[in-house]
């Protein structure tokens, strides 16, 4: 079996870093092999991929030592065009990979820059779009796509190039569960066809669907485990990666059970969507008469397929979009008649992509921007900053440049910047993207305790997030609401979940089995007292 990739004693320290982000890393990946790479935030996973695809040392400067061989050749002397034909990368954030205005042109971007003949490009684009089931998006404008649709388009650009080595950096982060499974099956097929595939994922339970051949578990820039999947599951820390509940539960039990969080009685209306219709410039309807209310005390999880209209609906609450028909009320006032500043005092919206939000030269300035525009004093802003950073596990990052942070850190900073404005309603668009289990749990616990925050809306493909934290679940499909009610009711309708491209997780299935005993859905730690009973089921 031929080697696609070889690393020997690879070490790298970023120019601004005190310690190496990668230390003494050695590994080999053969053709027809898929290597799953997992580990907590900041463990060095993305740095490893940047070394392989040439972004280190070309774009990210620092001290690099060790040896890299791709297809037996040293990439150090290669131009980026030559390297791109050997190694293809799918980034965590599709916004950073979409450069063309239309889907078809984006898929053709790489081959066009390499000067392929027109007919060859057309055939490669057709094959990539067909393989990803997105031929219907061919003529669509890329900036009108959902985050998950953009992720598929970015992957199409990778497939048209068909490089022998594929680097996939959290490729499931923006995909609905059914699309994620389709993508994982495609990754397995690509490996079987002869590619070497490096799959970086926090969502190990989902990634196992691709049947990876081996796993690398990273911590502090080094390999803590390298070997078969069974050994990895026995060794991995469930606080750092998302494991199947039957694997995670016994280890989480070592820290003790967690009490079930009480559910508040819903209070006054904060957001009201009344028969909302909307379509972008191409005239295609996105929202088709959506009516929904968010009340005080609620944690509402909105699930559904990519392109269902989830983000589009909530963007009406911050005045970014205005309905073609119907109306949106924010704290009783019609959104279209309110200023952006007025809406921002009630609704804080954290976008799916941090690149849509972060622009300041330092974390300090990023956290000060919103409160300053709401009229808060410098003393108030400075006093609140340490706790804001502690809330998102970014203590001591005050002077760091936001765009130099990892994707997961950028995501948490964007949440902190919105929370610094003390909104009454917090809207989180894919909050778990790029986050390990510990950061997700810590963030959600913090949000649940914030003074002044009256309701939270989670736009998410993470079923476990809805199971653990939601007081209400809304299922959307094709611009309409298919179901709206308690999690125990909506998520128990498995045929409807399938219709809405939601795949039940092991945590959801266990909760459904235990529901007669528990009476409500619980997070993994809160299920620990029921472990013995769960084994018998």
Could you give the CA distance from residue 260 to residue 468 in angstroms, rounded to a whole number?
Answer: 9
Please give the model's pTM, rounded to 2 decimal places.
0.90
In percent, the amount of the chain with pLDDT more than 70 equals 99
pLDDT score recorded for residue 145: 87
Q: What is the average per-residue pLDDT within 329-357?
A: 90
- Residue 226, pLDDT score: 95
> What's residue 433's pLDDT?
81
Burial 507-537 (b: 16+ CB within 10 A, else e): bbebbbebeeebeebbbbbbbbebeeebeee
Looking at the predicted structure, is the pLDDT value of residue 199 above 80?
A: yes
Q: Report helix angle 363-373 to 378-391, nearest 10.
A: 120
Cβ atoms 407, 329 nearer than 8 A = no
Confidence of residue 112 (pLDDT cuts 50, 70, 90): very high
Task: Note the pLDDT tens digit of each residue in 469-486.
Answer: 999 999 999 999 999 999
Query: Does the pLDDT of residue 209 top 90, yes or no?
Result: yes
DSSP track, 429-486:
ESTTTT--HHHHHHHHHHHHH-TT--EEEEE-S-HHHHHHH-SEEEEEETTEEEEEE-
pLDDT at 508 (0 to 100): 97
Dihedral angle computed from the Cα positions of residues 391, 393, 394 and 395, in that order, rounded to the nearest 10 degrees: 80
pLDDT confidence of residue 147: 83
Q: Which of the pair, 319 or 374, is modelled with greater confidence?
A: 319
Q: Residue 392: CB partners within 8 Å, gap ≥ 6?
A: 412, 413, 415, 416, 439, 443, 446
Strand ranges for 84-188 from DSSP E: 87-90, 165-169
> In 275-297, which positions are buried (b, 16+ CB within 10 angstroms) versus exposed (e)?
ebebeeeeeeebbbebebebbee
Q: In what helix (H) or strand (E) does residue 290 lie, and over which residues does it extend?
A: strand 285-295
For residue 174, the model assigns a pLDDT of 84
Q: How far apart, in Å, are the Cα atoms of 51 and each of 46, 62, 197, 226, 353?
A: 9, 11, 15, 19, 24
Residue 288 host element (H or E): strand 285-295
pLDDT in tens, 369-413: 989 988 889 998 988 898 889 888 899 899 888 877 877 888 889
State residue 537's pLDDT score. Answer: 63
Residue 10 has pLDDT above 70, yes or no: yes
Q: pLDDT tens across 237-282, in order?
A: 888 888 899 898 888 887 767 777 788 899 999 999 999 999 987 7
**Higher pLDDT residue, 508 or 432?**
508
Residue 307 has pLDDT above 60, yes or no: yes
* CATH code assigned to 269-346+423-536: 3.40.50.300
Highest mean pLDDT among 174-178, 212-216, 395-399, 524-528: 212-216
DSSP state of 259: P
517: confidence class by pLDDT, cuts 50, 70, 90? very high
Are the beta carbons of 100 and 62 closer than 8 angstroms?
Answer: no
pLDDT tens digits for range 420-438: 888 999 999 998 887 878 8
Q: Can you name the residues that pair with 102 across neighbouring β-strands? A: 141
Domain boundaries, the chain: 269-346+423-536, 353-422
């Amino acid at each position: 079996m031929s080697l696609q990739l070889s690393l020997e004693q690879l070490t790298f320290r970023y120019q601004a870093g005190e310690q190496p982000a990668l230390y003494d890393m050695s590994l080999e990946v053969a053709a027809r092999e898929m290597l799953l790479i997992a580990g907590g935030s900041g463990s060095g996973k993305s740095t490893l991929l940047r070394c392989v695809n040439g972004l280190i040392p070309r774009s990210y400067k620092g001290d690099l030592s060790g040896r890299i061989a791709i297809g037996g050749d040293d990439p150090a002397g290669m131009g980026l065009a030559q390297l791109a034909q050997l190694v293809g990368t799918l980034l965590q954030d599709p916004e950073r990979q979409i450069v063309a205005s239309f889907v078809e042109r984006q898929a053709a971007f790489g081959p066009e820059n390499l000067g392929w003949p027109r007919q060859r490009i057309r055939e490669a684009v057709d094959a990539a779009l067909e393989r990803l089931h997105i031929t219907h998006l061919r003529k669509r404008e890329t900036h009108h796509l959902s985050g998950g649709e953009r992720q598929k388009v970015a992957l199409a650009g990778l497939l048209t190039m068909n490089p022998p080595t594929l680097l996939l950096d959290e490729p499931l982060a923006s995909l609905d569960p059914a699309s994620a499974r389709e993508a994982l099956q495609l990754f397995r097929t690509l490996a079987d066809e002869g590619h070497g595939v490096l799959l970086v994922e926090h969502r190990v339970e989902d990634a196992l669907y691709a049947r990876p051949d081996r796993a690398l578990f990273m911590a502090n820039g080094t390999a803590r485990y390298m070997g078969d999947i069974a050994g990895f599951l026995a060794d991995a820390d469930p606080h750092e990666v998302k494991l199947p509940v039957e694997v995670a539960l016994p280890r989480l039990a070592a820290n003790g059970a967690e009490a079930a969080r009480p559910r508040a009685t819903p209070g006054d209306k904060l957001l009201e969507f009344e028969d909302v219709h909307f379509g972008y410039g191409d005239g295609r309807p996105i929202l088709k008469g959506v009516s929904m209310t968010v009340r005080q005390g609620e944690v509402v999880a909105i699930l559904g397929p990519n392109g269902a209209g989830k983000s589009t609906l909530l963007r009406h609450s911050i005045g970014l979009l205005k309905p073609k028909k119907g109306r949106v009320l924010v704290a009783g006032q019609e959104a279209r008649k309110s200023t952006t500043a007025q809406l921002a005092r009630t609704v804080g919206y954290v976008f799916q992509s941090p690149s849509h939000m972060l622009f300041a030269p330092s974390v300090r300035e990023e956290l000060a921007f919103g409160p300053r525009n709401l009229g808060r004093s410098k003393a108030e802003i400075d006093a609140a900053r340490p706790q804001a950073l502690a809330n998102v596990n970014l203590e001591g990052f005050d002077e760091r440049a936001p765009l130099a942070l990892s994707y997961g850190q950028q995501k948490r900073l964007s949440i902190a910047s919105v929370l610094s404005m003390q909104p009454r309603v917090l809207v989180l668009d894919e909050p778990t993207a790029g986050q390990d289990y510990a950061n997700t749990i810590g963030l959600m616990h913090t949000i649940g305790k914030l003074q002044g925050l009256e309701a939270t809306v989670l736009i998410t493909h993470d079923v476990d997030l809805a199971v653990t934290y939601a007081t209400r679940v809304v299922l959307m499909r094709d611009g309409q609401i298919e179901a709206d009610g308690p999690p125990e009711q909506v998520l128990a309708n498995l045929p409807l979940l399938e219709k809405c491209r939601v795949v039940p997780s092991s945590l959801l299935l266990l909760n459904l089995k235990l529901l007669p005993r528990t009476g409500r859905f619980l997070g993994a730690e809160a299920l620990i007292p029921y472990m013995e009973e769960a084994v018998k089921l």
